[in-house]
Amino acid sequence: MAVRQDAGGTPERVDGGPTTWVYLFDQLDKIETERKPKDWEAVRTLLGGKGANLFEMTRIGVPVPPGFTVTTEACNAYLAADRSFPEGMWEQEVEAMRALERASGKRFGDAEDPLLVSCRSGSKFSMPGMMDTVLNIGLNDQAAQGLAKTTGDPRFVFDAYRRLVQMFGCVVMGMPDEPFEAVIEEVKAERGVHGDDELDADEWQRVTERFKKLFRGFTGNDFPQDPFEQLELATRAVFNSWFGKRAVDYRNATNIRHDLGTAVSIQVVVFGNMGEDSGTGVAFTRNPVDGTHEIYGDYLMNAQGEDVVAGIRNTKAIKDLALEMPDVYAEFAAICERLETHFKDMQDVEFTIERGKLWMLQTRNGKRTARAAIAIAVDMADTGLIDKREALVRVTPEQVDMLLHPQFSDVVKAEAAERGERLVEKAVNASPGAAVGRVVFDADTAEAWGKRGEAVIMVRPETRPDDVHGMIAAKGILTSRGGATSHAAVVARQFGVPAVCGADALRISVDRQQMSVERPDGVITVNEGEWISIDGGTGEVYLGELATHAPDFEREEHLRTLLVWADEVRRLGVWTNADYPRDAQRARGFGAEGIGLCRTEHMFFEEERLPVVQEMIMARNRERRVDALKRLLPMQRSDFEGLFRAMDGRPVIVRLLDPPLHEFLPAYEDLLQELADLKVRLQHFHTLSEIDEALTKVREKEDLLARVGELRESNPMLGLRGVRLGVMLPEVTEMQVRAIMEAASRVVQDGTAVHPEIMVPLTSDLGEFKVMAEIIHRIGSAVEKETGVTVPYKVGTMIEVPRAALTAGAIAAEAEFFSFGTNDLTQTTYGLSRDDAEAKFLIPYVEQGVIEENPFQHLDRSGVGRLIEIAVTEGRAERPDLHVGICGEHGGDPKSIEFCHMTGLDYVSCSPYRVPVARLAAAQAAIWHPET
């Protein structure tokens, strides 16, 4: 019978019997009989990751203290019923305790040798430290006295009892931890000792009594003496902790669903604090920092588990256990190897040694750094523990991305935050990586300081295309406006520059060369030249210089190996967006197979060219415009020649000029202010020469203002740009095509293959494209006749507006390739302005659940994606060999890459630093969707 799935994903009973809420660790077979889970993930959903692994360790014979698990299904039912246990659950838990009594030979609540248990949380996905645990349940006044006599070790007993009172008070009753710790510190001070392990039995007994008084004072009740009352309240506390703030915040940060619930595992307590032949520890079966195949961890003798992780005592390195207890260590190492082989992944284990006997308390897949994740996956595949495809899906694209950008460690950031140096806690994490530099507020200063070797962070309210030179020179970019696909974000990712955008808490004054933020402790002001540190991966900003570490791709051997395996699997090509030879060379080093987007407008903003571009724009007639274009021609030709040589025979798609012309001129409002200032200063001149010079400047500024006014548009994004600009000013297209083809001819003559593809931007009608195609072919033929060199080339178009997608069949009759510009296609499909939307409502939409995702970060499959599917299907129906790719920012997003694979695109194109990410994401898409 098929397994039915409830909302939380747990497998329901399929035999019609009453719900089983509680299972003993040795009842995995019972679960399989009653519920017939379809796979191990369903078991993990039911029992939580911790519980499922305890069941499995029990089954394979690893020494695990007996116990049972209350299912996540019970937790969800409890929460849904206004925090009431579901019918039959508590009775099953009591019966399970009777089973533990039989297994251990001890009785829960016995006055002389009581059974003690721990109560631990455990959801399907590991959430270390986010939910609650209570140890030593079952101790009370009578049992403590009896156990002290039975064991002859009252110090151990009252150490265990005070732990129960403290944990019960904090976890179950919500008491603050500080009063308990203050009592311990006071007793240690009275004794004149520093470590908890130096307190004797009488002192721990006194601590316990004082803890119980604290408990009574806070709750109004005595500490519960009934062991079953302790167990019931602890179970409720663990269930309740599922919606504790830290657990909710953690799930939000890690994209874990809120409907999974937590299981509760009740386990017989084994004691590591029974003397010097007892101990406890936490270890990883491999090094979680760099992936080295070695046991990595810490332990303590004569301690309980929380002592290791709480930092109460200085721990010992796990390798020292081999010297201290060689037989125990040998058994532990063998179990670690066995667990890793069984679960086929690095394990994070907890263990206790009770009077020389080793017990395993937990195993789970261990958390690891990006570097370790990659190294472990590759090593396990090399040794045959997993296959290459499994290795490819073990590593996330985000881990690849993290490895390739300079980073701040969590420790460094935490220390800075403690010093009060965190300036912005959370803004848009626009371009990953860490950057440290001096604050500058304009592009020219950024470039000038950068040239003299200064590390700078360029800070702006937002960036414009004419800021590119400063952005390239900067180590990082910080803006108070804009989102993940704003100009600053797009260009930053293009050049691998860390960026934080939309930090609206900042008040940036470019005029005063300072920024400030208001905090509860006052206003913090940062002036030009002062140091800040930004984390583009998290959207945080810090005062001062934080230490970073930068990876070297050439030295990342494990990553390079993994990506070679990815290339063997993926169907999608991975190209890059590159405007300069240095970007192309960098992308090739990362494995790019072509250039999917060369944006020619970025070349126009370079310092020596912008005046010529502005002269061309200011020209009132074609003759003067052509004259300026002739001077631009050799510059453009040189650009393309460098790109073709850098790509060495790989395809290069060059997009013809796309933005409206006014973007190359000063802003209208700035010109108005400058003109007003000139006229004011004119009144203070006295000599004729001064007046004539000033009047000349006024007239020049008035001409420039008039031309900018003529070019101004109400909605420039939908105005005279792209294909429309080419149709209206064909001489611009002629110059660019000539530059492309002449450059290609020169490179071919030098013996290097060239495959140029010329792309028309913003086509919405076949007629527009035909006009542009005629110009391209005419100039291409002319260059061929002039040079005597035949260079095969393609002519295609960007699909950026819905009409182009809906009429793709007609356009494909003329166009040889399509490239989806998904940034503009998303804007025009949604009918919104990207920057305005992210600044005003799009982010709140996501936060409030109005929409699931920001469509500029992850491609909107149901709307934009549907248009892409239509265009691909109808375009290939007309032209079966139509080459189709994507060159928007979505080309580097793993979720969007998956869609591109499923839709049958030929390639994705992304910024150079995203190429390794795209290679892995494309391989994972091929593994997950082999049918496409």
As annotated, the active-site residues are 487, 887
Main-chain phi, psi angles of 776, to 5 degrees: -60, -50
Answer whether 47's CB lies under 8 Å from 69's CB: yes
Instruction: Give the sheet arrangement for strand 296-301, strand by strand.
Output: 316-317, 296-301, 279-284, 347-354, 357-365
Residue type for position 225: Q
222: Cβ–Cβ under 8 A, 6 or more apart, which residues?
212, 215, 216
| Residue where the block lists tokens 């791709």 | 553
Distances (CA, A) of 848 to 429, 827, 831: 19, 21, 21
Q: Is 245 helix (H, G, I), strand (E, B) or coil?
A: helix
Residue type for position 631: R
Rounded CA separation 320/302 (Å): 15
Main-chain phi, psi angles of 101, to 5 degrees: -60, -45
User: Which structure tokens are listed for 344?
Assistant: 């086929």
Main-chain phi, psi angles of 315, to 5 degrees: -85, 170
90: Cβ–Cβ under 8 A, 6 or more apart, which residues?
232
Answer whether 169's CB lies under 8 Å from 224's CB: no
Task: Return the sign of the alpha-carbon dihedral for residues 907, 908, 913, 917.
Answer: negative
Q: In 640-746, which ranges are E strands?
A: 651-655
Quickly list H helices, 279-325: 305-310, 321-324
Distances (CA, A) of 430 to 226, 590, 607, 714: 55, 21, 27, 28
| Residue where the block lists tokens 């230490």 | 547
Answer whether 694's CB lies under 8 Å from 650's CB: no
Main-chain phi, psi angles of 621, to 5 degrees: -140, 165
Distances (CA, A) of 111 to 107, 108, 701: 9, 9, 96
Answer whether 199's CB lies under 8 Å from 226's CB: no
Residue type for position 30: K
Fill in the DSSP letter of residue 168.
I
Longest dimension (CA), the chain: 111
Answer whether 407's CB lies under 8 Å from 386's CB: no
| CA 86, chain centre distance (Å) | 38
Distances (CA, A) of 485 to 100, 488, 709: 58, 8, 28
Neighbours of 147 (CB within 10 A): 24
Nearest to 388 by CA among 564, 254, 225, 513: 564
DSSP 507-552: EEETTTTEEEEEETTEEEEEETT-EEEEETTTTEEEES----B---
Rounded CA separation 44/28 (Å): 12
Rounded CA separation 778/769 (Å): 14
Rounded CA separation 25/46 (Å): 13
Half-sphere exposure of 608 (CA within 13 A, CB side): 5
Q: Is 141 helix (H, G, I), strand (E, B) or coil?
A: helix
Main-chain phi, psi angles of 681, to 5 degrees: -65, -30
